[in-house]
Every structure is written in structure tokens, then in C-alpha cells.
Structure 1
Amino acid sequence: MRLSIWPHAGQPYGGILEAARHAADSGWDGVYIADHFMPNAGTGRAPDAPTLECGSLVAALGAAVPRVRIGTLVYGITYRHPAVLANMAATVDHVTGGRFTLGVGAGWQVNEHEQYGIELPPVKARLDRFTEALQVLRGLLREPTTSLDGEYYRLTEAYCEPKPVQDPLPILIGGSGEKRMLGIVAEYADMWNAWGTPELIAHKSAVLDRHCAERGREPKEIARTAQALFVVDGPLPDRHPMPVLGGSVGKLTEAVEAYRRIGLDELIVPDGLLGQGADRLRAMDVIRGIVTG
């Protein structure tokens, strides 16, 4: 099971770089960055708290940090035209020497769209547009030219050159809706990502397997990735919108082994509850020790 760190973009760049370099130096496998411009209203953080931009961060980390894979978790497709995003992804893959993972999602955070005047359609239209965007991304990153006469995007013999170093550059899709989103994952993804406890991820993964079977695709072709917040040593928060696991080394070990038993390919650890500075680096070392056994 691969292990990756997810430094939150609401901290200074120096802190993000510190976590990424420590991951590279201590045997972690990857570093992911979320694509947001501000905190989500209602999460307990001020909506005007500073937040660094994802595309710039992954390029910077790709140049500054060796060995580990660099990925986005995930680019909101509503923020950038997919042709622009394809060129960004190909460029970062060259910057990293073929270590980039393109994570994409349909978009969801309301306050960002409202403040910037970016359309956030209803769910059905959002997923329709996301499906077209995936066709654009796969075409531009993997085919000589791409044409599409869609409802949302129109491309005519379009180029994206140079192509990525990787052939193919992996596309990760984030989402867990069982009726439609996991069907989109089964159709277009090389990797899938969702928040969840081992039990929830096992359930969602089984649903994804069924969508793959309906499309005649081998489920093992799609790598399964997931994340939860980890507490290494201390009480768990009384209330949190995301799953929180651990509290002691023993409980963390139980959680990691549960993810391993369900066949998770990659465990991603957000750094939000790991502390800061030296405390965070020590927590990272404990988690890596648990995962590598």
C-alpha cells in the first residue's frame, strides 16, 4: 500500500515544502495538493484565510522535491477549461520528469463559485460537463489531435504538445456518488479517490466494481486511493465533518491494517491534525513506520 502526504494549502509555502521534502527523504510515495482558493464556508476557518493556488504549487513542488509523485486532489473542473488544464498537466509532468498524477473532480465548493462569479450548475449538468471535460483531457493528453462537438466544449483538431512524459499520464477522479459518479470513474479513471473509513471505502469500492462489470472493464485497472484525518497521539475531535481515525499508535495501526485488508492501493494522509513543525514531522515518521511495518 502506497503512502502519500496531503499538506493543506492554507499554510505558508515553506511549511508545504517542509512536509513534501520530509516525505521524499523518509520513504513516503507521494504528495497531493487540493485545488481551492479559500476555505469552505462553515468549516470553522475564516473564509478569508490565505490559501495558495494548486496549479502553481504542484509545479513548484515538482521542481523542488525529488522522487515522490506529485498530484492534485482534485482540480475542480469548473475553474479551468479542460484544454488549458491538459496543457498544465503535461507541463507539470515534464517538470517532474514523469511523476505527476492529474486528479480531477466535478467541482462543489459554493463560496468560491459565488465570490468569483463562476457557474456551479446543478448536479446533473455538472456531471454532464465533467464527462465532456474528461473526454477533452483524455484526448489531448493521449491522442495526436482531439475534436469534440459537445454541449459544453468544442474542440477542432486540437493539439496538446508536448505530450506528457508518462504514457499515459494517470487520471485520478475524486468522487463517491454511487448512481452516476462511480460510473464515470469506471468509464474514464486510472485511479479513484474518496474520503472515508475502511468500511465506507470497501462499500464504495464494491459499487465501483459493479459499474466496471457493466462496462466490461477490469476493476483492477483502477487504483483505489482514500484518505481520512489521522491523530497520532491525543484525543479525537468531538465533532468533525471528515472521518478522523487514531488517537494512539495502536488505534492508528488498526486503521491502517483495515485499509490494507480491503485492498486499498494508496493511503493519503492530510496533515491537518498532525501538528506543526517538528511535531508534524514526528507524526509523519510514526505513520510511515506503521504503514511500512
Structure 2
Amino acid sequence: MRLSIWPGAVQPYDDILEVARHAEATGWDGVYVADHFMPNATPGRDPSGPMLECGTLIAALGAAVPRVRFGTLVYGNTYRHPAVLANMAATADHVTGGRFTLGIGAGWQVNEHEQYGIELPPVKQRLDRFVEALEVLHGLLRRPTTTFDGEYYRLTGAWCEPKPVQDPLPILIGGGGERRMLGIVARYADAWNTWGHPDLIARKSAILDDFCAAQGRDPKAIARTAQSLVVVDGPLPQDAPMPVIGGSPERLADTIAQYREIGLDELIVPDRLLGRGADRLKAMDTVRSLVSG
């Protein structure tokens, strides 16, 4: 099982770079960055706080840290035309020497769309648009030219050059909707990601397998990735909006073993609850030892 770190983009660049370099030096496999422009407007969080931009951050980290893979978790489709995103992804793959994973989702964070005047359509329309975007991305990144006449996007003899170093550049889709999103994953994704404890990931992974079977695709062609907030040693927060695992190294080891048993290909660890400075690096070392052990 691969192990990757997810440093929050709310912190200074030097702190994020420290996390990425430590991950590289201590045997982690990857580093992910979220695509947001401001913190989510949830109770207890300051939505006016700082947030570094994802694409620029990925390029900077990829140039500075030479071994681990980098990925976006995940680009929001509503923020950019998919042709623009295809060129960004191809460039990131060249900057990293073929170590980039293009993570993309349908988009969701309300306050960003409201403040910037970006349309956030209803879910059905958002997913319809997302499917068209995936067609555009597949075309531009994997074929010489692309012509596409959709409801939301139109391309005529379009090219994206240079093509990525990787052939193909892997596309990760983030989302866990069981009625439609997992069907989109089955059709277009090289990797799938969602939040959840092992039991939830196992259930949704089985549903994804069914969608793959219905579309005649080998389920093993789609890597399964997931994350939960991690507490290495201490009380679990009772008000966390996301799943939380750990509390002690022993309990964390048990949950990591469960992820491995359900066939998870990659565990992604957000650094939000790992502390800061030397404490965070020590916590990262503990997590790494539990996965490798």
C-alpha cells in the first residue's frame, strides 16, 4: 500500500516544502495538494484565512522535490475550462519528470463560487459538465487532436502540446456518489479517491466494481485511494467534519491494517492534525513506520 501526505495549503509555502522534503527523505510515496482559493465557510473556521493556489504550488513543489509523485486532490472542474487544465497538467508532468497525477472532481465549495462569481450548477448539471470535461481531458492529453461538440464545451481540431511525459498521464477522480459518480469513475478514471474509514471504502469500492463490470472494464485498472484525518497519539476530535482515525499508535496501526486488508492501493494522510514543526515530522515518521511495519 502506497503512502502519501497531504499538506494543507493554508500554511506558509516553506512549511509545505518542509513536509514534502521530509516525505521524500523518509520513504513516503507521494504529496497531494487541494484546489481551493479560501477555507470552507464551516463553523469554527475563518473563511478569510490564507490559501495558496494549487497549480502554482504543485509546479513549485515538483521542481524542488525530485523523487515522490505529486497530485491534485482534486482540481474543481467548475474553476477552469478543461482545455486550460489539460495544458496545466501536461506542463506539471514535464516539470516533475513524469511524476504528476491529475486529480479532478465536479466542484463543490459554495463560498468560493459565491465570492468569485463562478457558477455552481445543480448536481445533475454539474455532473453532466464534468463528464464532458473528462472527454476533453482524455482527448487533449491522449490523442493528437480533439474535436468535441458538447453542451458545455466545444473544441475544433484542438491540440495540447507537448503531451505529458507519462503515456497516459493518470487521471484520478474524487467523489463517492453511488448513483452516478462511481459510474463516471468506472468509465474515465485511472484512480479513484474519497474520504472514509475502511468499512465505507470497502462498500463503495464494491459498488465501483459493479459499475466496472457493467461497462466491461477490469476493476483492477482503477487504483483505490482514500484518506481520513489522522491523530497519532492523543484524543480524537469530536467535532471534526471529516473521518478521523488513530488516537494511539496501536489503534492507528489496526486501522492501517484494515485499509490494507480491503485492498486499498494508497492511503493519503492530511497533515491537519499532525501538529507543526518538529512534532509534525515526528508524527509523519510514526505513520510511515506503521505502514512499512
1:213 alignment partner in structure 2 = 213
Q: Which amino acid aligns with 2:61?
A: L
1:140 alignment partner in structure 2 = 140
Deviations 1:162-205 (A, max 9, x none): 00000000000000000000000000000000000000000000
1:42 alignment partner in structure 2 = 42
Shift of 1:42: 1.0
The 5-angstrom pairing of residues 98-113 of structure 1 reads 98-113=98-113
* Aligned equivalents of 2:268, 2:238: Cα separation in 1: 22
1:177 alignment partner in structure 2 = 177
The 5-angstrom pairing of residues 194-209 of structure 1 reads 194-209=194-209
TM-score (norm. length: structure 2): 1.00
The reply on whether 1:273 has 2:273 as its aligned counterpart is yes
Q: Which amino acid aligns with 1:123?
A: V
Shift of 1:45: 1.5
The reply on whether 1:189 has 2:182 as its aligned counterpart is no
Q: Percent identity?
A: 76
Q: Which amino acid aligns with 1:87?
A: N
Deviations 1:91-136 (A, max 9, x none): 0000000000000000000000000000000000000000000000
* Aligned equivalents of 2:238, 2:185: Cα separation in 1: 33
The reply on whether 1:284 has 2:284 as its aligned counterpart is yes
Shift of 1:43: 4.6
1:229 alignment partner in structure 2 = 229
Deviations 1:243-280 (A, max 9, x none): 00101000000010000000000000000000000000
1:80 alignment partner in structure 2 = 80
2:115 alignment partner in structure 1 = 115
Q: Which amino acid aligns with 2:50?
A: P
1:53 alignment partner in structure 2 = 53
Residue 274 of structure 1 aligns to a residue whose secondary structure is: coil
Shift of 1:238: 1.5
* Aligned equivalents of 2:201, 2:239: Cα separation in 1: 21
* Aligned equivalents of 1:43, 1:191: Cα separation in 2: 32
Residue 78 of structure 2 aligns to a residue whose secondary structure is: helix
Shift of 1:44: 2.0
1:244 alignment partner in structure 2 = 244
* Aligned equivalents of 2:165, 2:179: Cα separation in 1: 34
2:258 alignment partner in structure 1 = 258
Residue 245 of structure 2 aligns to a residue whose secondary structure is: strand
1:17 alignment partner in structure 2 = 17
* Aligned equivalents of 2:236, 2:177: Cα separation in 1: 27
2:92 alignment partner in structure 1 = 92
**Which runs of 4 or more aligned residues in structure 1 lie more than 2 Å from their structure 2 counterparts after TM superposition?**
none
Q: 1:19 to 1:43 in 2, by over 3 A?
A: farther
* Aligned equivalents of 1:170, 1:240: Cα separation in 2: 31
The reply on whether 1:71 has 2:71 as its aligned counterpart is yes
* Aligned equivalents of 1:43, 1:107: Cα separation in 2: 21
Q: Which amino acid aligns with 1:220?
A: K
Shift of 1:239: 1.5
Matched pairs, number: 293
Shift of 1:66: 1.1
2:128 alignment partner in structure 1 = 128
Residue 90 of structure 2 aligns to a residue whose secondary structure is: helix
Structure 1: stretches of 5+ with no match in the other structure: none
* Aligned equivalents of 2:217, 2:61: Cα separation in 1: 34
Residue 256 of structure 1 aligns to a residue whose secondary structure is: helix
RMSD: 0.5
* Aligned equivalents of 1:196, 1:128: Cα separation in 2: 25
Residue 220 of structure 1 aligns to a residue whose secondary structure is: helix
Structure 2: stretches of 5+ with no match in the other structure: none
